[in-house]
Amino acid sequence: MADPNVVVVNGGKAGWFLAGALAIAALIGGYLYYDGYFDQQKSIELKIDVPKLELEGK
């Protein structure tokens, strides 16, 4: 008869690697948020001054 041995194989280390990468990304994102990186306004304000046009009536 064959031996009824059970072989258990682990799924690998990819899960731990992804969890570690996610934790590092969260730490970096938290640091940038705390430092005010996301609050910096990087927009350009464009203002055009046009003389007022007045039409005289009859």
Helix/strand/coil (H, E, C) string of 7-46?
A: CCCCCCCHHHHHHHHHHHHHHHHHHHHHHCHHHCCCCCCC
pLDDT given at position 23: 95
What span, in angstroms and rounded, lies between the C-alpha atoms of 43 and 46? Answer: 10
- pTM score, whole prediction: 0.48
pLDDT in tens, 2-57: 567 777 666 667 788 888 999 999 999 999 989 888 777 667 777 888 888 777 77
Specify the pLDDT at position 24.
Answer: 96
- Residue 23 in contact with residue 30, Cβ under 8 Å? no
